Amino acid sequence: MFKTVLFPVDGSRETREAVDLVINIVKTYTSNLFLLSVVEENEEGAMSSESEVAKLLLGAKTLFEQQGINAETIEKVGIPSFTICDVADEINADLIVMGCRGLGLTPEKASESVAHRTIELAPCPILIVP
């Protein structure tokens, strides 16, 4: 059912809380797991630290390897929601699992979250972990 799972990682608490669920899904369906981190330009035009992103991906890959899961890592530059959906399309993902990092409780802020925008654009089902 879920042969290819994409798990965008960003170091947030919500992402860390989704790890156990990703492990369960990947083991249950013997899925191929792809870990994605997106380097994003900020308003000043400077980019997030690529070395920090590489370290984050290596840590996530190691965590899954300790559970007997081999994961491929992907690092991209771009707007997170668009990039997540592009990568999901490129790898023919059957499922995207991601943490929900709400920016606030107001409807205006909810529509700005990466998770919300990804839901609107995704080429496959998404599981949002609170």
Q: How confident is the model at residue 2 (pLDDT cuts 50, 70, 90)?
A: very high
Q: What is the pLDDT of residues 43-84, one digit of tens each?
A: 554 446 677 888 999 999 999 999 999 999 999 989 999 999
Cα separation, 76 vs 105, whole angstroms: 29
Report the pLDDT value the prediction gives residue 44, as an integer from 0 to 100: 54
CB 39 within 8 A of CB 47: yes
The domains of the chain are located at 27-67+78-129
**What gap in Å lies between CA 41 and CA 67, rounded to an integer?**
33
Q: What is the pLDDT of residues 111-129, one digit of tens each?
A: 568 888 999 999 999 999 9
- Edge-to-edge strands of the sheet including 32-39? 71-77, 32-39, 4-8, 95-99, 126-129
